[in-house]
Amino acid sequence: MNAQEKPTSDQAPPKIQLPSAFLEYIKKKIEGKNKNDKLGGRPNLISSFAKDGKNMDEQVSLATDKVLNILEDAWLKGRPCSRIAHDYEISNDTMWRVLKDLEPFKESIKELLLTTPRARKWFVEELEISDYETVQNYIKRAKREGLKNWKATLINTRRFWTWTNYKSPEKWSADEVHDYLATLTGGAQSQMLDGIRKVAPQIRDESSSQYVGVGMFRAKLQQRKKDLFGAEVKMIIDALNKHGLKHEATIFKIHIQTGAREGAKDSSAGMVGLRWSYFKNDFHNVDDFETKVHGGIWWRNCPLDVFFPELPEELRALWIKRGKPTDDKVVNGYDELKTLYATIRRILTEEYGGKVDPSLMKEFSTIRCHDADKLHVNMLWEAGVPLEVVAGQFLGKNEGVGLMGRGWLAIDVIKKHYLSLTQRSHRFQRIQQNVRDYAQKVLVEGLTYDVKESEMRT
């Protein structure tokens, strides 16, 4: 079946046609519970699954769904009875009795589960649960790690689940992923693949035959980074000032200085969430709130005069020009920030088009608000700041401490997604020259070469 023939709506799959004797067994368990209620007896496991049903049909449907989940775990996935019992917070003996009672239906139920899609819920947003184990595991992990956008990930990934005709994520194949991603545009491919990999372990497991790597549908990491450092940032600011765009230059400076995220997905965070009330010490420091990890982190007292000594005065002038607002936002939404960077691209094209190396012009003409944190990291590295310091530290209770602004917490994240180790960096060139000096003295002149400790730092 090709992409055009796949279902595209989020409709429920057809209900599985179960043996009448199996449904009668469920119904008797529920009726027994209703009878026990009048007599003061304890409800059984199956009847407890039906407690939210408004009538007998709803109660049977709710209980049947839960029982089928149990049977799928036991008969198809081979999970131990004790593990299933633990999931439902009941004793091992109780779960064993349920499975024993349903043993006569084993072969027919197994065949139905293998051949017929079940009416299972992908994600119930109000209850924050899923009928699929791998999706539920992702929900638990997202809550544990304090991720902010996990609901949007599940809502987005639901489209692929629908496209597969409601197949369990555990059964998604690499071919299906490839076929579906081919129907999307580049940016949507990357976002969808990220979501698929989060809820389908076999898709992200490199040892799996169904593995799909991010590089297959995403621009290479080197292309996503920005090959721009201090000298290039100065060229950008000079061009903006030359064209009288002082406001754009000021916002660009504060974005580069703090390394704040752009705030595309959360208007309370990053540059889009920055308020005038966050500034301190006569605009020499600012608090930056980032919501992506640990439920949100405040990076306190970020200095604003390190890269750009003139920035505090420029911010004060802008604040006065705006009427000295108390709690207004510095940037009026993500669209305004995108427009500002579109202006920067236009000015750079006018100023440097045909005058600089084509590779540098490509970097200038593609700069976006998503790239400011990359330039921030590049400049700190070029200045010789250890990456451990750039990463910062989470202190707990939504507080973090970093050298210059937002922190990344993990050095590996900085290396993989942000830092651009290229020969355009002056620091890179200095290190390269050290190697040339070493080669000249040792390999050509045959002398002993002493490397200074400062030259060994990276």
More confidently predicted of 50 and 102: 102
Average pLDDT, the chain: 83
11 found inside a domain: no
pLDDT (tens digit per residue) in 163-205:
888 888 988 988 889 888 878 876 688 889 999 999 999 998 8
DSSP 279: E
User: How many domains would you assign to the chain?
Assistant: 4
Note down the domain range covering 377: 230-422
Which positions ≥6 away from 177 have C-beta within 8 Å?
160, 193, 196, 203, 212
Same domain, 259 and 402: yes
Same domain, 402 and 259: yes
pLDDT (tens digit per residue) in 347-393:
999 999 999 999 899 999 989 998 999 999 999 988 888 899 999 88
Same domain, 170 and 48: no
More confidently predicted of 51 and 212: 212
Query: Which pair of tokens denotes residue 7?
Result: 């279902």
Same domain, 369 and 259: yes
**Strand ranges of the sheet holding 399-401, from the earlier edge strand across to the other edge:** 279-280, 285-290, 297-303, 399-401, 393-396
Give the pLDDT of residue 397: 86
Residue 36 has pLDDT above 50, yes or no: no
pLDDT (tens digit per residue) in 97-120:
989 999 998 988 888 877 766 667
Rounded CA-CA distance 102/67 in Å is 10
383 found inside a domain: yes
Same domain, 248 and 370: yes
Same domain, 200 and 137: yes
Query: Which pair of tokens denotes residue 102?
Result: 């349903």
- Judged by average pLDDT, the poorest of 42-46, 93-97, 247-251, 269-273 is 42-46
Same domain, 156 and 44: no
Same domain, 315 and 385: yes
Rounded CA-CA distance 112/108 in Å is 6
pLDDT (tens digit per residue) in 115-141:
766 667 888 887 788 888 899 999 999
387 found inside a domain: yes
More confidently predicted of 216 and 278: 278
What predicted TM-score, i.e. pTM, was given to this entire model? 0.55
pLDDT (tens digit per residue) in 235-259:
999 999 999 999 999 999 999 999 9
Residue 455 has pLDDT above 60, yes or no: no
Using 50, 70 and 90 to split pLDDT, how confident is the model at 228?
very high
391 found inside a domain: yes
pLDDT (tens digit per residue) in 5-14:
444 334 455 5
Residue 400 in contact with residue 393, Cβ under 8 Å? Answer: yes
Same domain, 407 and 261: yes
Same domain, 318 and 442: no
- Contacts for 333-337 with beta carbons within 8 Å, 24 or more apart? 333/267, 333/272, 334/262, 334/263, 334/264, 334/267, 334/272, 337/251, 337/262, 337/263, 337/271, 337/272, 337/369
